[in-house]
Amino acid sequence: MIKVDFKLNKKLEILVDEKYFNSNVQDVTEEYIAISIPTNSGEYLPLSSGSIIDVIYYEEENIYKFSSTIIGRKFENIPILLLAKPEEIKKIQRRRYVRVPLIKAAKYINLKNEPKVNLSTIDNSKYLKAVIIDLSGGGMRVKVSEEIKDNDFLLVALTVNEEEVLIVGQTKRIMKDNDGRFISGLSFEFLDKTTQEQLIRYIFQLMRNQMKKI
């Protein structure tokens, strides 16, 4: 079985009836993992001893999924639930590099060999249509109709949770499909930490939807 070093204050998500509740690790012993009462938008999740739950545990770079049983409660400054140590743990993937497949409309401008751009001066009429095929914290694959070349820089605008995000990526491994459209990997360049975290949270959402099927 995969061994996981559960650490204090690390994030957990509890899945019950297709809904995710946030929690974190409060204590770890040989017999149990103690967690804070799971919440979602201020709503507490009522769980009693014997309840079986699905848990997602986040490390710095990895995500794990397992099932567990509530074996008790205690109170140490805050109310705490005790989870039985899992018998089986599934490792999802390194969160930065996992590629999540999706088909999502986007738009782009080919910056050619000029990756530095003043976003406030972008002419929206110059955007062309693109389709995102997959997405990770470090890059994506896109499909476009116009010819692009290796190492071109593309400014891609995509919608993430109703907010437009602008990303510059450098083209890699370009190929043509049967319809003559260009498919290219994009390696993100100049990606600030805030935007990267926004993308990673979005990737988590996509992964959670997929993990419901696991």
Question: Does residue 35 sit in the same domain as residue 107?
Answer: no
Contact present, 133 and 182 (Cβ < 8 Å): no
Which residues sit opposite 39 in a β-bridge? Answer: 22, 44
Q: What counts of helices (H) and strands (E) characterise the chain? A: 1, 15
Question: Does residue 203 sit in the same domain as residue 108?
Answer: yes
Q: Give the domain range for residue 68.
A: 11-91
Instruction: Please tell me the distance from the alpha carbon of residue 40 to that of residue 22, in angstroms, as a whole number.
Output: 6
Give domain status of residue 132, yes or no. yes
DSSP-assigned letter for residue 97:
T
Closest by Cα among 172, 154, 173 to 114: 154
Alpha helices in the chain (DSSP H): 193-211
Question: Does residue 155 sit in the same domain as residue 72?
Answer: no
Q: Which of 43, 61, 91 is the last residue of a domain?
A: 91
> pLDDT means per 10 residues in the chain (214 residues)?
85 81 92 93 87 86 86 90 93 66 92 81 90 90 94 93 89 92 91 81 76 58
Question: Does residue 139 sit in the same domain as residue 198?
Answer: yes
Question: Does residue 106 sit in the same domain as residue 181?
Answer: yes
Question: 211: number of CA atoms within 13 Å, CB side?
Answer: 25
Which are the contacts of 5, defined by CB distance < 8 A and separation ≥ 6?
A: none
Give domain status of residue 133, yes or no. yes
Question: Does residue 104 sit in the same domain as residue 164?
Answer: yes
Closest by Cα among 150, 139, 144 to 174: 150
Give domain status of residue 126, yes or no. yes
Give domain status of residue 55, yes or no. yes
Please report the pLDDT score of residue 38 as a whole number. 93
Q: Which of 28, 58, 91 is the last residue of a domain?
A: 91
Length of the chain, please?
A: 214
CATH number at residue 17: 2.30.110.10
Domains contained in the chain, number: 2
**Residue 105 is encoded by which pair of tokens?**
């409309």
Question: Does residue 127 sit in the same domain as residue 194?
Answer: yes
Question: Does residue 59 sit in the same domain as residue 111?
Answer: no
Question: Does residue 28 sit in the same domain as residue 54?
Answer: yes
Contact present, 149 and 175 (Cβ < 8 Å): no
Give domain status of residue 2, yes or no. no
Give domain status of residue 3, yes or no. no
To 5 degrees, how large is the angle CA 26–CA 12–CA 41? 100
Please report the pLDDT score of residue 94 as a whole number. 55
Closest by Cα among 192, 203, 201, 91 to 140: 203
Give domain status of residue 15, yes or no. yes
Question: 84: number of CA atoms within 13 Å, CB side?
Answer: 14
Q: Which of 59, 91, 123 is the last residue of a domain?
A: 91
